[in-house]
Amino acid sequence: MRVLSGIQPTGRFHWGNFFGAIRQYIALQNNQQAFYFIADLHALTTVRDPQLLRQYSWEAAVDLLALGLDPQQASLFLQSDIPEVTELTWILMTVTQMHLLEKCHAFKDKKAKGIAADAGLFTYPVLMAADILLYDSDVVPVGHDQVQHIEVTRDVGQRFNHLYQQEVFVLPTARVLDDSAKVPGTDGEKMSKSYNNTIDLFLPEKQLKKKINSIKTDSKTVEDPKDPEACPVFALYKLFAEEPQQRELAERYRAGGMGYGEAKGLVLAAALEYFGPARTRRAELEARPDYIRDVLAAGASAARTKGQEVLHRAKSACGLSR
């Protein structure tokens, strides 16, 4: 079973990225056939500063390795280091029907809001299909909001296979990630870079404390009983604590006599302990830039070896190779 996933370098990874997706990607790496890429070509639709894109891409690689991605188990690479993916994208564009792209969420949402959508946003589901089909991917872990793109990929791959009467592409299946653990941001809404309410994974401790202390809560006093299930601070604590600790804190909420400041301190302590090993690894990796470059180069080499095989099948099928 070959697992494939990509993540866009549009900013530093935050708690929502980790609990919603990254930790589950890493849990699927132990089959020695996993490909994980940093989707810098996709990021071009939103990040227009070249220096910033390079920085985000580099930081993404360091973060993923620090969080447990093992280059002995999975290939990690930059999307832009695989020229085969852009070549396959054009081939797939020639068989992709317009109505599929017009239905895709990102394009529809911008159009509904009256925001101009460029050709990159309109056609990026085809690039995503190329990302997936290029490696004979069997399983693609995605959130609920990304399932549509796997369906588009299957439609495009199936249409190509049908038109050229060959089983060129493996049709992938979606592995829908468990995103039941809501990760609220500092404003209580879903944690998202677009809402500017994130808590980055590797903030220095002082900045992390300041960020956690900025979480919005209601106006109840220390003495007042509080509802833990309505509190974003408690929701964040649950991400790190075991059930006995969760129950204990919930009881203290309901009994009164504890302020939100104390609860925020518990979140800080729990987060520092939970991410402690990753923070240590990240500091070590930052001092080894040559190692990071070697990991990305080896990952790209493995990806290109597989990608060239699949691209050759596609080119042969449609008459582009001699």
Alpha-carbon distance 108 to 120, whole Å?
Answer: 14
- 190 catalytic? Reply is yes
Q: Where are the alpha helices (DSSP H) in the chain?
A: 15-17, 23-27, 40-43, 50-66, 83-93, 98-102, 105-112, 119-133, 147-163, 205-213, 232-240, 243-255, 260-274, 276-286, 289-318
Type of residue numbered 97? Q
- 220 catalytic? Reply is no
Beta-bridged to residue 139, according to DSSP, are 3, 173
Q: Where are the alpha helices (DSSP H) in 3-49?
A: 15-17, 23-27, 40-43
User: What per-residue confidence (pLDDT) applies to 181?
Assistant: 64
User: What per-residue confidence (pLDDT) applies to 116?
Assistant: 73
Q: Which one is catalytic: 110, 111, 182, 220? A: 110
Alpha-carbon distance 118 to 279, whole Å?
Answer: 38
Type of residue numbered 302? A
Beta-bridged to residue 78, according to DSSP, are 38
Q: Are 233 and 261 in contact (CB under 8 A)?
A: no
Q: What's the pLDDT tens digit per position in 151-177?
A: 999 999 999 999 999 999 999 999 988
Delimit the CATH 1.10.240.10 region(s) of the chain: 203-274
Our separate counts of H helices and E strands in the chain read: 15, 5
Task: Give pLDDT < 50 ranges for the chain.
Answer: none
Q: What size, in residues, is the chain?
A: 322
Q: Are 168 and 161 in contact (CB under 8 A)?
A: yes
Alpha-carbon distance 91 to 100, whole Å?
Answer: 16
Hunting for tokens 């990254």 — which residue is that?
A: 22
Q: What's the pLDDT tens digit per position in 99-142?
A: 999 888 877 777 777 767 789 989 999 999 999 999 999 999 98
Q: Are 268 and 98 in contact (CB under 8 A)?
A: no
Q: Are 295 and 65 in contact (CB under 8 A)?
A: yes
CB atoms within 10 A of CB 246: 15
Tokens encoding 38: 């940093």
Delimit the CATH 3.40.50.620 region(s) of the chain: 4-182+289-318
Alpha-carbon distance 155 to 225, whole Å?
Answer: 54
What is the CATH number that goes with domain 203-274?
1.10.240.10
Tokens encoding 205: 């401790």
Tokens encoding 234: 């408690």
Q: Which one is catalytic: 182, 193, 216, 220? A: 193
Tokens encoding 172: 């992938």
User: What per-residue confidence (pLDDT) applies to 33?
Assistant: 83
Alpha-carbon distance 292 to 17, whole Å?
Answer: 21
CATH 3.40.50.620 for domain 4-182+289-318, yes or no, is yes
Tokens encoding 152: 């588009």
Question: Could you tell me if residue 142 is left (phi over 0), alpha (psi between -120 and 50 degrees) or otherwise beta?
Answer: beta
Hunting for tokens 């639709």 — which residue is that?
A: 45
Question: pTM score > 0.85 for this model?
Answer: yes
User: What per-residue confidence (pLDDT) applies to 163?
Assistant: 98
The backbone torsions φ and ψ at residue 173, rounded to the nearest 5 degrees and listed phi first, read -115, 150
Q: Which one is catalytic: 111, 113, 182, 190? A: 190
